[in-house]
Amino acid sequence: MKQAMMQGHGDATDSRLAPAAWAVLMLLGAGVGLLLGASGGSTGWQWPWQARLDPLQWQIVADIRVPRSLGAWLGGALLGLAGALAQGLFRNPLADPFLLGSAPGASLGVCIYLAVAAGSALAVPGLAQLGQTGAAFLAAAGAVALTLLLSRGVQHTQRLLLAGVIVGVLLGALTSWLSLLRPELARAMQGFLLGSTGLVGWSACALMAATLLACMALSWPLARVLDALTLGQSTAQSLGMPVAAARWVLVVALSLATGAAVAQLGLIAFVGLAAPHMVRALAPMPHRWSLPLAALAGGLLLLLADLLARVLMAPQDMPVGVLTAVLGGGYLLLRLSRLQASGGAA
C-alpha cells in the first residue's frame, strides 16, 4: 500500500533549467540587446564597428545609443530587484516597487520642480534635467519616509501596505491639484508619468549602476531571511533569523532601488511587478537566486521595450512606459489565463 502511494509521486526528476543556466541566458540576452541598442536608432541601422569610421556617427553611438540602452537595462534591473524585494517582504505576489509611495512621491516632486523651475532661471536645459531627477529622488525618499512614519515602522506588513496606499492617494491628489492650477505643466508631467529612456546619459548610468550594486549588496545576504519569511514571521523567528533588523535593511534597499530608477526614467509601469513573476514561472527557487534573476529579467524586459520603442514608430520615439505596460501587462494576463486553466482542470 505504502509502495503504491510512493510510486504515484515518484517523479522527483526535474527537467527545468537550473537557475544558473537562466542567469547566463539572461546575461547573454542583455549583451545581444545592448549590441542591437547600439546599432539602431532614428538615424537608421548601423553596426558599431561601421559607425567607428565616422566621428559624428560614433558620437551618436557612444553618447546616446549605448548609455540609453545601458540605462534601460540598469533601470529595469533596479525595478526587477525592487519588485522581488517587495513581493518577498510583503509575501504578496501583487506587491510592486511603488507601493511604499515612491511613485506618487516622485511625481509630486517633479510637478513641484516644474512649477518652480518654469518661472525661474533654473529652466536651463542641462541644469533642469539634473534638477528634475534630484527632485524626483528626494520626493520619492520623502514619501517612503512618510509611509514608514504613518505605519510606525516596518514590522507590521498590513499597516505598511495601508500607509503606502494612504500616502499614494494623498500625494496623488496634491499632484493633480497642482497640475490643475498650472495646466502648462501637464505635457511635461505626462512624459514623466509614462516613463522614458530617451534622456539617459552616462552620469545617470553610473548612478544607477552604483545603486544597483549597493542594493544587491544590501539585500543578497538577507536572501535566507526572505526564504525563512515565506514560512511566516513566527517560523522565521523560531529559526533564529533577525527578522526585525532585516526588514529595515530590505525596505531601505527597496526604496533606494525604486527611487533611483524612478528619478532617472520616470514611472515605468509593470517591470517591477512582472519581472519577479517571470522568474517564479521558470522554476521554484530560493531568494539567493530569485533576487539576482529578477534583476536580470527586469533589465532584459526594459531593454527589449526600449528597442521596440525606437523601431515601432521610427524615426519617432514611443514612450517606453507604454511598451512595458503592454509587454508586462500582456505577460501577466497570459499567466492569469494559464492559472485559470490549471485551476479549472484540477
Distance CA 77, CA 302 (A): 8
Distance CA 24, CA 90 (A): 29
Stretch of 9-17, 116-124, 203-211, 299-307 lying at the interface with another protein (CB under 8 A): 9-17
Is 221 a binding residue for another protein by CB under 8 A? The answer is yes
Is 316 a binding residue for another protein by CB under 8 A? The answer is no
Is 224 a binding residue for another protein by CB under 8 A? The answer is yes
Stretch of 48-56, 57-65, 239-247, 325-333 lying at the interface with another protein (CB under 8 A): 239-247
Place of cell 541601422: 45
Stretch of 107-115, 164-172, 204-212, 233-241 lying at the interface with another protein (CB under 8 A): 233-241
Is 5 a binding residue for another protein by CB under 8 A? The answer is yes
Residues 6+ apart with CB under 8 A from 7: none
Is 128 a binding residue for another protein by CB under 8 A? The answer is no
The DSSP secondary structure of 287-318, one letter per residue, reads: HHHHHHHHHHHHHHHHHHHHHHHHHTTTTSPP
Q: Which is nearer to another protein, 31 or 93 (CB)?
A: 93
Stretch of 69-77, 226-234, 259-267, 326-334 lying at the interface with another protein (CB under 8 A): 226-234
Question: Is 243:229 a contact under the CB 8 Å cutoff?
Answer: yes
DSSP annotation of 63 reads I
Is 231 a binding residue for another protein by CB under 8 A? The answer is yes
Q: Which is nearer to another protein, 9 or 187 (CB)?
A: 9
Stretch of 7-15, 47-55, 98-106, 188-196 lying at the interface with another protein (CB under 8 A): 7-15
Binding letters toward another protein, positions 265-304, x by CB under 8 A: ---------------x---xxx------------------
Retrieve residue 297's grid coordinates.
529579467
Is 335 a binding residue for another protein by CB under 8 A? The answer is no
DSSP annotation of 62 reads I
Q: What is the largest CA-CA distance in the chain?
A: 84
Q: Nearest approach, Cβ of 299 to another protein (angstroms)?
A: 21
Helix (H, G, I), strand (E, B) or coil at 283: coil
DSSP annotation of 43 reads T
Q: Which of 51, 71, 53 is nearest to 62 (CA)?
A: 51
Radius of gyration for the chain, computed over Cα atoms and rounded to the nearest angstrom: 22
Q: Nearest approach, Cβ of 2 to another protein (angstroms)?
A: 7
Retrieve residue 82's grid coordinates.
525592487
Q: Nearest approach, Cβ of 147 to another protein (angstroms)?
A: 24
Helix (H, G, I), strand (E, B) or coil at 142: helix
Is 23 a binding residue for another protein by CB under 8 A? The answer is no
Q: Which is nearer to another protein, 91 or 159 (CB)?
A: 91
Among 59, 155, 235, 337, contact with another protein (rule: CB under 8 A):
235
Terminal CA-CA length for the chain: 25
Name the residues that contact another protein, by CB under 8 A.
1-2, 5-6, 9-14, 91, 221, 224, 227-228, 230-232, 234-235, 237-242, 280, 284-286
